[in-house]
């Protein structure tokens, strides 16, 4: 589960995590998702603070951070700087050489991009009027199919707003789920795949544009989603991480320099115990999936 734009900030009046009702995460980690939260290293649960700077000055950005997460290559080094939000020719070329999606499929395993996309998204891509983010570009490059509302109706996909309310506005026959129900659906999807990816980008949107109160509410919805997802995982390992900080500091509308959280829970959690930066995610993912540990291979 990729949480776009979620960093570890201090408890403050500008940090939605200070006020959000997140009882599930609080119980899991011993308190709110803040900078003060101590790292956890156990067989079934690993919680780390990851450096998102990639060794470059300036504010971390989405395209370079996400490319790093999905390839293990330093996206900022490829660009000579932090860059985003959309991948340009340099990052797309790197993704064309390989990503976790393509590596999983090449190894004969199954991969699944769990997001549902509305009809206008497909039309905009076809007409060249829509840029795609790194995860979508990497998934399409690997040959994966983007899922549509019919897939959502069959519980094969999850809406980026967790509830499906946006889709329901387009088609009232499409169901609305409580966040916890959506989490359980994602667990069932993941159980049938070797590698599933869910792109939750609203957290970054909230950081840039939403009010503090709306951001607080969104974090509570994420917590409810996780309360349905994690207990239903069985022997599936869940990895949660981000590309850069943002929503944790509503005093600014930009990204932040904060470390980002990484939560791994399940039988392969220990594969991520040594992670200290975004660069460590792809190698650890390869280890957990028994893939060749080659950067972008």
- C-alpha R_g of the chain: 18
Amino acid 294: pLDDT:
64
Spatial distance between the Cα atoms of 195 and 1, rounded to a whole number of angstroms: 11
Q: Across the 297 residues of the chain, what is the mean pLDDT of every consecutive 10-residue run?
A: 98 97 98 98 97 98 98 98 97 98 98 95 85 96 96 97 94 96 98 97 97 98 98 97 98 97 97 98 96 65
Amino acid 32: pLDDT:
97
**Residue 114's closest CA among 55, 36, 189?**
189
For β-strands 111-113 and 40-41, DSSP reports them as: unpaired
Burial of 197 (0-12, 13-18, 19+ CB in 10 A): buried
**Residue 258's closest CA among 89, 1, 6, 3?**
6
Amino acid 137: pLDDT:
97
Amino acid 126: pLDDT:
82
Which domains can be identified in the chain, with CATH numbers?
2-56+106-131+145-271 (3.40.720.10)
> Which residue's entry shows tokens 């060249």?
128
Amino acid 297: pLDDT:
40
pTM of this structure: 0.95
Contact by Cβ (8 Å): 164, 175: yes
């Amino acid at each position: 589960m990729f949480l776009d734009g979620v960093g570890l900030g201090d408890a403050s009046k500008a940090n939605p995590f200070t006020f959000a009702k997140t009882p599930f995460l609080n119980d899991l980690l011993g308190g709110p998702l803040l900078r003060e939260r101590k790292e956890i290293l156990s067989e079934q649960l690993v919680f780390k603070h990851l450096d998102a700077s990639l060794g470059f000055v300036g504010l971390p950005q989405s395209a370079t951070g996400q490319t790093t997460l999905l390839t293990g290559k330093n996206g900022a080094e490829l660009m000579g700087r932090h860059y985003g939000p959309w991948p340009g020719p340099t990052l797309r070329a790197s993704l064309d050489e390989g990503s976790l999606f393509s590596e999983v499929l090449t190894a004969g395993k199954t991969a699944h991009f769990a997001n549902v996309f509305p009809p206008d998204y497909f039309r905009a891509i076809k007409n060249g009027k829509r840029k795609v983010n790194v995860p979508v570009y990497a998934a399409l490059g690997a040959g994966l199919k983007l899922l549509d509302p019919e897939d959502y109706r069959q519980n094969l996909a999850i809406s980026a707003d967790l509830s499906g309310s946006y889709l329901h506005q387009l088609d009232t026959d499409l169901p609305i789920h409580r966040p916890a129900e959506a989490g359980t659906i994602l667990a069932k999807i993941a159980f049938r795949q070797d590698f599933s990816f869910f792109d939750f980008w609203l957290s970054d949107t909230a950081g840039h544009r939403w009010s503090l109160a709306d951001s607080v509410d969104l974090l509570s919805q994420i917590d409810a989603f996780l309360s349905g997802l994690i207990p239903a995982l069985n022997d599936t390992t869940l990895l949660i991480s981000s590309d850069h900080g943002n929503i944790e500091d509503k005093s600014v509308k930009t990204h932040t320099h904060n470390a980002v959280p990484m939560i791994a829970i399940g039988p392969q959690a220990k594969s991520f115990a040594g992670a200290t930066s975004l660069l460590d995610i792809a190698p650890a993912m390869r280890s957990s999936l028994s893939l060749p540990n080659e950067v972008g291979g």
